[in-house]
Amino acid sequence: MKFNKCLRNDEFDKSYLNSIYLKRSDVLRWCQSEFLLPPPIWQITNLDSPKLEEQIEDLDDDKDNWYDNLSSRRKQRIACLEIAKQLWKENPELTYKEVHSHPAMTRYGYGKSFTFDTFKKWARPYASEYAKQGGSKQ
C-alpha cells in the first residue's frame, strides 16, 4: 500500500497524501498499534504518556468546522445520546424504553434516530445501572 511506503520509508508524496482523506486520530492509533512513529507533522510529544489515548482523541477537535462536517444523522445520534446521558443523570431509575420515548427525545425527533434495539446498544455505556439490569419497570 502506498500509505505504508510513506510511513515505513519516510517517503512522503505530497500529491498522493493530498488526494486521500485520513483522520489524524486514526493514523496515530494505527501507528501506535503497529509500533511506528507517526508522520513528523503529526507526532505527539510524549509517546509514553499514560494519556496518549486522550491526546489522540482530542486532536481532531482542534479542526474548524468539525461539527459542520458531520452528517445530519450523526448529529442526531450525538444529540440523542447526550440527552439520554442527561436523563439518566437526573433520574437513574429510568429504563431504556422510558428514555427512548421520553418527551425530551421525541419533541425534536431524536427518538427516531435509532430503533429501540440500536438505541439500547449505543446507549449502554451511558445507561444507569438500573437500566442495564433491566429495571423492574421493563
- Kindly tell me if the per-residue pLDDT of 102 is higher than 80: yes
Burial of 137 (0-12, 13-18, 19+ CB in 10 A): exposed
The contacts of residue 52 (CB under 8 Å, 6+ apart) are 32, 44, 46
pLDDT of residue 109: 72
- Kindly tell me if the per-residue pLDDT of 25 is higher than 90: no
Assign 99 a pLDDT band (cuts: 50, 70, 90): very high
pLDDT of residue 125: 92
Tell if the pTM clears 0.75, that is, is over it: no
Residue written as cell 438500573?
A: 130
Domain spans in the chain, listed from the N-terminal domain onward = 2-62, 72-132
% of the chain with per-residue pLDDT over 70:
67
pLDDT of residue 38: 75
pLDDT tens track for 34-85 = 777 777 766 656 555 555 555 555 555 556 677 788 888 888 888 899 999 9
DSSP-derived letter for residue 112 is G
